[in-house]
A and B are shown apart, each in its own frame.
Chain A
Amino acid sequence: MVTSYFDEMYGSGGTVRSPYAMVAEWLGTQRIADLKSKHDEAEALFRRTGITFSVYNDNASAERLIPFDIVPRIISASEWRQLSAGIEQRVRALNAFMYDIYHRQEILKAGRIPAELIVQNEAFVPEMIGVEPPLGIYSHIIGIDIVRTSENEFLVLEDNTRTPSGVSYMLENRETMMHMFPDLFSRNRVAPVENYPINLLRTLESVAPRGLDREPVIAVLTPGIHNSAYFEHAFLADEMGVEIVEGRDLVVRDGALHMQTTLGLRQVDVLYRRIDDDFLDPLVFRKDSMLGVPGVMDVYRSGRTTIVNAPGAGIADDKAIYSYIPEIIEFYTGRAPILKNVPTHNCRRSDDLAYVLENLEKLVVKEVHGSGGYGMLVGPAASAAEIEAFRLKLTARPSNYIAQPTLALSTCPTLVDAGLAPRHLDLRPFVLIGDQVRLVPGGLTRVALRQGSLVVNSSQGGGTKDTWVLQD
């Protein structure tokens, strides 16, 4: 099979790449009908376990599954070494950047980033200026979206420094694959991912307020069962053995954060929040928020409770900041980035804007603050009318957009109606930053199930695959 894209299994030439040797051989012996029934079995398993999203009521049909593909995505040990070195370098730099931005702002003084990009940014939280988070860390859990475009090229598409989600799928996909295809695991040396929850717990413990004379009390804050990621919130709390709380379970009393237990109030030391900054504290952010806790920001600023990830951590994953990340890495680590960015045009710059307007049909244009694959233009896939409509939006507010070349995202064989066919994918490893950087080998592989589609987001019909990192 020869494609114009780099295929994870067949490379560019059509011969099976060595990490996939065993899986390719196994696939060759399977009948498509059998694979499809295995696929149905996997989905039934997901449904029974309740690994669903997008729930607005108790009607089962309103709970959807993220489609799961049974062909694993495989990364070799040496590829992973390169990726993990690049990821570690990147997340250390991102945290150093945030510390700097909320303190002396050396990088702005040095003129490496335009100051207005920070101070006028909605993701910049002035209330965080001068706050000293434990260990100086702002973003403790980061999901980095990586795409592969050739044998040797991995590019970072996006950093998620606020409340990245999807790690439960990484873990459940592995559980499901091991349950259904134990043979494959006995014949391949697949690095385990199951340490993630304990690593997360250690990370949260390591950033507890200083000088506690007891084991830190940790809680996961969820918006509630109707949130699309609720399964993940409950899953992580359960795996860590900590309470899952909603805003209504929490109260600030005597300058400390408490949860309301069967025995009355109990102090919370580390809050792993899975709600956005805007909703965290109605006294500081959105006044109409029912999800947060009035006064929690004061507690945080006084150092009596650690909020993870810190408020204001979104400044590091803003799309307008993204194009400066290579400079950020050099500025704080003194070294060139190990992992490259995708070349990005900032439409706020007039020469970039002119280029983008000239080349809309070739580019992917994204909103600076958008996420989930909404509000973006994929030039090569768009109609002339769609391009013209987007051109009007772009010229009206150029600083709201960035543009990138349409990437030749790698493909991997995927089970579709017609059998096995190549589909585009990306990779989101989850990295934990506390007293040390912890990275389980793997991540969430998202796959665009529609033929030719380059959009892997689950909200846009993307699915997931188990991600294998092989050991030497």
Chain B
Amino acid sequence: MLGRTANDLFWLSRYVERAENMARLLEVGYRIVLLPREGQGFHEEWRSTLESTGCAQSYERKFGQINTRDVVDFLLFDPDNPSSIYSCLSAARRNARAQRTAMTRDMWECLNSSWLEFSAIKPESVTSNALPGLLDWIRGRSALFRGTMLNTILRNDTYYFSQLGTFLERADNTARILDVKYYVLLPSSEVVGGGVDNFQWGAILRSVSAHRSYRWVYKENYKPWRIAEYLILNKQMPRSLGYSYFEVATALEDLGDYYHHRQACQATAANTVSLLESGDINAIFQSGLHEFLQDFIARNNRLGAEIADTYHFSG
């Protein structure tokens, strides 16, 4: 496989995952804005959404003030925002087009149809009432793409690089969501309290589609350290750091076997896996949740760069 093909497949999966994640964050943000509250609380919510998607600075430069309509447009449709759903789907489709030979016809058609439909939407037609339907549709298209991939792709390097993209991106997203909101999870925090807290905790779980499954796993009300444990360490949870890294490490192992060549990045990933497997949530809180997450995000970025280097992503 060409190094460029590996690069494009890896990023294609990242973009699809990112678009889905963005849709989920928008959904949560929108729910919170609808919540009857005093004052300018929704500003905070949108600010943390912008921060967890890494778009806060570019939004600030373009709009200055936080305004629900501007935020929604910026995150959904703005081609100037490289993380907008528009930009993600456009880039995913561009990569897919460049690598049509590496993907199945079903995968290509799924992505191409998604892009053709999405790019035909006029932003002004997306009213408040239409927004939830659109966000559902985006999540559905992402799910359809993943399902199509899993059901049709050859289990070779095309599959492994796609998996790596998906789960590195997912780990990054979950870590960022937690990091932006880490203060609401801190037991000692004084800014939080009562019903709003509960609502914030629920929002974190919702943003990774985990508010129902949490109950099945923990059989109790939301507890901030449980939520952190669930999203960081619990390997049952498919968007947790623990599960994402299980998939990352598996894909790297498979790739090493497939190429008959063990690479150093396998050890790098295994290192993070054991950090998460041996991790204890109390210890993480003691040494600092924010610090832990920052360290994780940096490790994740380093692994991405190491993979790109090892497998000649840029020749």
Binding site for B on A (CB under 8 A): 47-50, 58-60, 224-225, 230, 234-235, 237-238, 243-246, 248-249, 251, 259-264
Contacts and interface: CB of A to CB of B under 8 A. Distances in A.
B2 A245 contact: yes
A249 B116 CA distance: 29
Instruction: With a 10 A CB-CB cut-off, give which of B2, B6, B113 has the most chain A CB atoms.
Output: B2
Contact of A243 (B98, B101, B311, B312): B101
B112 A48 contact: yes
Given A50-B109, A262-B1, 9 more contacts: A49-B108, A50-B97, A60-B120, A238-B101, A244-B101, A260-B312, A262-B312, A263-B259, A263-B312
Interface residues of B, number: 28
Contact of B100 (A59, A234, A245, A251): A234
B115 interface: yes
B261 interface: yes
Given A225-B97, A262-B312, A249 B2 contact: yes
A48 B109 contact: yes
Contacts of A230: 97
23 contacts: A48-B109, A49-B105, A49-B109, A50-B97, A230-B97, A234-B100, A234-B101, A237-B101, A243-B1, A244-B101, A246-B4, A259-B2, A260-B3, A260-B4, A261-B2, A261-B3, A262-B2, A262-B3, A262-B157, A262-B259, A262-B311, A262-B312, A263-B311
A230 B119 CA distance: 21
Interface in B183-236: none
A248 B93 contact: no
A414 B124 CA distance: 40
Given A50-B108, A249-B4, A262-B2, A238 B100 contact: yes
A225 B98 contact: yes
Nearest to B86: A58
Q: Is the interface of A mostly helix, strand, loop or mixed?
A: mixed
B315 interface: yes
A111 B315 CA distance: 51
B112 A248 contact: no
Nearest to B79: A58
B101 A225 contact: no
Given A58-B93, A237-B101, A243-B2, A263 B261 contact: yes
Contacts, number: 73
Contacts of B312: 260-264
Instruction: With a 10 A CB-CB cut-off, give which of A60, A230, A248 has the most chain B CB atoms.
Output: A60
Top 5 A-B residue pairs of the complex, sorted by shortest distance between their CB atoms: A234-B100, A262-B311, A238-B101, A260-B315, A237-B101
Instruction: With a 10 A CB-CB cut-off, give which of B93, B100, B119 has the most chain A CB atoms.
Output: B100
Contact of A58 (B6, B94, B261, B315): B94
Interface string B107-151: 011001101100110000000000000000000000000000000
A251 B311 CA distance: 17
A229 to B, nearest CB: 13
Given A260-B312, A260-B315, A60 B98 contact: no
B2 A48 contact: no
A248 B108 CA distance: 24
B197 to A, nearest CB: 43
A243 B5 CA distance: 9
A72 B259 CA distance: 48
Given A238-B100, A260-B312, A225 B3 contact: no
